[in-house]
Structure 1
Amino acid sequence: MKRRLSCLVAVVGVLSAGCGIGSTGPVRAGAPASGLREPGSAHHYAQLYFVSPYGIQAVTREVDAPLTPQQALDLLLKGPDAAERARGLITEVPPLDWRLVAQGADNAVDLRLPVSVADMTRGGGLGLSQVICTAANAQASDSEQSSDVDVRVYEEGYETPWTVRCNAAGNVVPVPDP
């Protein structure tokens, strides 16, 4: 019995000594975290949506001043920059003969498409999501999310708009009629 007790104490002592990994100090693992706004900073960012092999993806670009929805769309239509292309990002917004028009209003954006939705979604279907989510994010204030912004889409050939929102994953979801 004494022998079992002393063996048990020895085993518990060995186990409580640790797993054999010594203590370490700070380990360098790359650049510090980035991407979040510093409170009170004078930096402004535009959030644009491009397409990656995994679906739609938001990218953040530093800009000189806050952008209107129209300015954000104009920047989106220029396509991904070299660094974004190197990460595999592309655009599925088709070349347009006419300009997309986006006008912000209280918690909403009026988006006028110069073509039908069928034409906007050729190629892969995410071009329209890129446009809607980019416009919604430009209209969202610092205290709200893009999912709080209604985007009223006026499609070529139709007089009545349909209303959607961009959720946190960059997916376009319909807004039910009140």
Structure 2
Amino acid sequence: MKRRLSCLVAVVGMLSAGCGIGSTGPVRAGAPASGLREPGSEHHYAQLYFVSPYGIQAVTRQVDAPLTPQQALDLLLKGPDSAERARGLTTDVPPLDGLIARGANGAVDLRLPVVVANMTRGGGLGLSQVICTAANAQASDSKQSPDVDVRVYEEGYERPWTVRCNAAGNVVPVPAP
């Protein structure tokens, strides 16, 4: 019995000594978290897609009002700003005079002034940049599901083909009904 009691006292003594972590108090670890929208704020953001060394990457810019798909594409066509370029972001979108995007009924009609084969400048991600930027603007503008159909009207072709932009910024075809 004496032996059990002495073992119990030893265990309690070790447990009360702590686990080896000293009492250092709070330690500064950098600035507070940022990037979250303030509840009730009236800020608006556009999501544009640029090219990084690792593929397509979404960037968020603060804007004055929600953007239509066409307004978002106009912003995309200006290219990355200086901060985005400093992070290594570029664009594969060639100059596209006459690019038209109209959102309606949760979808986007995208009229390309060139054939897709002529949009393969750089790494060939220009078409993904355009489609994902337009789709995201439509989803934000209409407050609908992020699954926005983009009907692409390519120069020289009568019928459009329909695609979506997935969460990774990849363009995926929409199966015909």
Query: What TM-score bracket applies, with the shorter chain setting the length?
Result: 0.7 to 0.9
Shift of 1:133: 0.5
Separation (CA, whole Å) in 2 of partners of 1:81 and 1:17: 56
Verify the 8 A CA contact 1:112 1:153 in the aligned structure 2.
yes
* Cα-to-partner distance string for 1:112-152 (whole Å, 9 max, x where unaligned): 11111111123211111111010011101378577411100
> Could you tell which deviates more after superposition, 117-126 or 31-40?
31-40
Provide the TM-score with structure 2 as the length reference: 0.86
Quick one: percent identity of the two aligned structures?
91
In structure 2, relative to structure 1, the CA distance for the partners of 1:8 and 1:147 (3 Å cut) is: same
Who is 2:77 aligned against? 77
Supply the distance in 2 between the matched residues of 1:169 and 1:71 (Cα, whole angstroms).
Answer: 22
Alpha-carbon contact 2:106-2:144 (below 8 Å) kept: no
For residues 17-73 of structure 1, the C-alpha deviation after alignment (integer angstroms, 9 at most, x for no partner) is 433222454433333333333332111110001111111111110011111100000
Give 1:95 deviation, angstroms.
Answer: 2.5
In structure 1, the partner of 2:115 is 116
* RMSD (CA atoms): 2.4
Query: Per-residue deviation at 1:164?
Result: 0.6
- Number of aligned positions between the proteins: 176
Q: Could you list the per-position Cα deviations for residues 50-108 of structure 1 after superposition, in whole angstroms to 9, with x for gaps in the alignment?
A: 111111111110011111100000000101101111111111112235xx110010110
**Gap runs ≥5 in structure 2:** none
Closer, same or farther: CA 165–159 of 1 in aligned 2, 3 Å? same
Give the SS at the match of 1:142: helix
Which ranges of structure 1 fall in alignment gaps of 5 or more residues?
Answer: none
The answer as to 2:21 corresponding to 1:14 is no
3-state SS in 1 of match to 2:92: coil
- Cα distance in 1 for residues equivalent to 2:120 and 2:17: 62
- Residue aligning to 1:162: 161
Is the 1:137–1:146 Cα contact (8 Å) retained in structure 2? Answer: no
Residues 13/115 of structure 1: CA separation in 2 closer, same or farther (3 Å cut) = farther
